[in-house]
Amino acid sequence: MHASSAENMERCVRWYLPDDRNALKIADLGSQSVNGSYRELFSGADAFVGFDLEAGPGVDVVLDSPYDIPEEDGSFDLVVSGQMLEHCAHFWRVASEIERILKPGGLAFLIAPSAGPIHRYPVDCYRFYPDAWRALADWTGMRLVHVWMDQRGPWNDLVGVFSKGGEVAQIKSAPRMDCPPIEDTPSAIEGAETVKGARGYLEALEDIHEIVEPRRYVEIGVRKGSSLKLSECESIGVDPCPALGDSFENVRLFECTSDDFFFFHAKDAISGPIDLAFIDGMHLSEFVVRDFMNIERFMAPDGVILIDDVLPNHPIQARRERESRVWTGDVWRAVELIAENRPDLQLTWLDTAPTGLLAITGLKPKNSALWSRYNPVMRKLMADNFAPMLDGRPGPTPEDPPIKLIDRREAKRPTRDVLKEILRPGRA
C-alpha cells in the first residue's frame, strides 16, 4: 500500500463514517499487508475481516476465487479495497460481490490506480478513470456518492465512495474536527528545552512582510494569530483548531486541516497568485511536504514560502511524538526531501528563535517533480509506517537531525539587509 492510498482511505473514513465505528463490521478485499494495511484505520471496529487469495499478514480468510466471497448477503456495514481491482481480470464480478455482501445502506470505499507502471500481482490488467466508477455503480446498482482522482504519482489514485441505497450525501466542504488539548509538558532531559536564535521569528517575519510587500498571504497553522496579525494584505488562515483572541478584518479563516482546505476550498478561495506563504502547521514531515506541494501551485514565481521549525535545538525536540515544550517534530526531514527532489529551488535557513525559519525562493508553480514521484518519495520517508502498527512492533524511529542543523552552521543571521538580499536579490 502506498502513501497516497492510505491518505485517501483515511479521508473516506473521516468524511463518511460515523464517529462511533465500534459496531461496524468491515471487509477488506485484497487485505494482505504489502507495505502496509488499512486495518489500523479501523482499530475500534468490532469485526474487521481481511480477504485475499493467499495467506499472509493481514489475511483472515483465504479465498478460492475472487468472485465468490463466503459470506451471507448483507453481512457487512463497509467494504474497503485498495490496489486490488487492477489485478482482477473480471473486476465487475468482484463489484457485484461487494454489493451482495453489503447491508442496505452500507458503504464501499474503492481505490485503484489511474496511472503507473505495470506491477503484476500476479497480473496487472487495468487503469481506471472516473467514468469507470460511474459505470461500476450502474452495473451493480450501488450509488456513487463521491469520486476523485488524485494527482500524486505514479499511481494517481482513483477513489470512489459507493452506497448501497441509503441517504449518504457527497461531502462538499471541509468537515470540522475535534480539537484535543495541546500537551506541552516540559522535558526533564537536560538541554531538551534549549532555544537559540539571533532574532525572534516574529521580528524577522515583520521585516519579511515589509520587504516582500505581498498582495496575498496564506498561513497554514495560525493558532493564536501572533504571526497572522503581521499581514496587512488579503490573507487566508488555515487551522483546524484556531485560538484567535482578536478579530482580523483582512483574513478569511478556514477551520480545517490544510489537506482539506486544498481539496475543497483553495481553488475558489485564492483569488490570485500568492506572494508570501507561511507553513507552521503539523510538525510532521509528510504534512509539511504536502503543504509545500499544494501551496507552490498557487504562488507567484517571485513569491516566498516560509517554513517554521526547521532547526531543532536538541534531538528531543525533533521527535515525531512530542516529548518537550519546545518541539519541531521532524520538519527538518521534509526540508531534506524538498532539497533532494527540487534542486532548482533556493533554500535559505534563517537563524531565528526559537526553532529557525526556512525561506524558499525560485518557485515554479508548474513544476511536477514532487507530484509525479510522491509515493516513492513518501515510501523512502515513511518506510513501513503501517506495518509496525499491524503486528504490534514499535514504529520506526527517525534518525536524529544532523549536528549541522542543531549547531545552525548553515543558517544566516536574519538582519534586514540579509533578508532583502535573500528575498529580493539585486534590490537590497
pLDDT tens, per residue, the chain with 428 residues:
899 999 999 999 999 998 777 789 999 999 999 878 999 898 777 799 999 999 999 999 999 999 999 999 999 999 999 999 999 999 999 999 999 999 999 999 999 999 999 999 899 999 999 999 999 999 999 999 999 999 999 999 999 999 999 999 999 999 988 888 888 899 999 999 999 999 999 999 999 999 999 999 999 999 999 999 999 999 999 999 999 977 788 999 999 999 999 999 999 999 999 999 999 999 999 999 999 999 999 999 999 999 999 999 999 999 999 999 999 999 999 999 999 999 999 999 999 999 999 999 999 999 999 999 999 999 988 763 434 433 444 444 556 899 999 999 999 999 999 999 999 875 44
314, 406 Cβ separation under 8 angstroms: yes
Q: What is the pLDDT of residue 86?
A: 98
Provide the CATH number for the domain around residue 128. Answer: 3.40.50.150
Are 249 and 353 members of one domain? yes
Contacts of 407 (CB under 8 A, 6+ apart): none
Are 152 and 250 members of one domain? no
In a domain, 355, yes or no: yes
Q: What is the pLDDT of residue 393?
A: 41
195, 313 Cβ separation under 8 angstroms: yes
Q: What is the pLDDT of residue 1?
A: 86
In a domain, 271, yes or no: yes
Among the three residues 116, 143, 164, which one is the final residue of a domain in this structure?
164
In a domain, 185, yes or no: no
Among the three residues 103, 137, 164, which one is the final residue of a domain in this structure?
164
Q: What is the pLDDT of residue 398?
A: 53
Q: Report the C-alpha gap between 229 and 40 in whole angstroms.
A: 40
User: What strand order describes the sheet that includes 216-220?
Assistant: 251-254, 234-238, 216-220, 274-279, 299-308, 357-361, 346-350
Are 203 and 150 members of one domain? no
Using N-to-C axis directions, what is the helix angle for 374-381 and 3-16, rounded to 10°?
Answer: 90
In a domain, 182, yes or no: no
Domain containing 303 equals 199-423
Are 157 and 212 members of one domain? no
Q: Report the C-alpha gap between 86 and 105 in whole angstroms.
A: 26
In a domain, 193, yes or no: no
Are 215 and 137 members of one domain? no
Are 315 and 382 members of one domain? yes
44, 21 Cβ separation under 8 angstroms: yes
C-alpha cell of 123?
A: 497480473
Q: What is the pLDDT of residue 426?
A: 55
Are 224 and 342 members of one domain? yes
Number of domains in the chain: 2
In a domain, 349, yes or no: yes
Are 359 and 222 members of one domain? yes
In a domain, 189, yes or no: no
How many CB atoms are closer than 10 A to CB 145? 21
In a domain, 154, yes or no: yes
Are 303 and 397 members of one domain? yes
Are 209 and 149 members of one domain? no
Are 241 and 385 members of one domain? yes
Are 395 and 305 members of one domain? yes
